[in-house]
Structure 1
Amino acid sequence: MALQVNELTRVFKYMGATLPDPDPKMSVDTVMSVYAHQYPELASADASTESNGSKQIITFQKVIGHKG
């Protein structure tokens, strides 16, 4: 039995919007930095990952904190 390798397509989500993958070779942190120019709150956001079939869905979430 041969081993079959399927490549996952990355999908980035933020606030209900789907963001295109700027470069599949970039790390998730680098992609978050790229999108932080458009969405400044991503500079301190968290990312969660889940797989759905042939897609890897990365969701960016704002970190809620308080000012000191």
Structure 2
Amino acid sequence: MPLVVNGMERSFTFKKGNEMIILSDPHPSDTPEAIMSYYSNLYPELTTASVHGPEIKEDKAVYEFKTTIGTKG
């Protein structure tokens, strides 16, 4: 019996105000940085964000986009 390797599903999150936005993975072969760039058209605050993770949650690799806009100190 051959061994079958399946990739782990990814999702991306970032905090906007008091809300946590969850973004799906539009291109599984792209890097997390490329996905952040893709979503920066919809969420301009992602242009200055950085990628953190992944953290494994419920059989998904969850990456967090963290931005410094609107933070003090």
Name the TM-score, length of structure 1 as normaliser: 0.77
Structure 2 regions of 5+ residues with no counterpart? none
Residue in 2 that maps onto 1:52: 57
Q: Report which of the two has the higher share of strand.
A: 2
Percent identity of the aligned residues? 35
Displaced runs of 4 or more, over 6 A: none
Instruction: Give the structure 2 partner of residue 14 of structure 1.
Output: 14
- Contact 1:45–1:63 (Cα < 8 Å) also in 2: yes
Counterpart check, 1:24 vs 2:34:
no
Is there any run of 5+ residues in structure 1 with no aligned partner, and where? none
Residues 45, 69 of structure 2: 8 Å contact kept: no
Q: TM-score, normalised by structure 2?
A: 0.72
RMSD across aligned C-alpha pairs, in angstroms? 2.4
Q: How many residues align?
A: 65
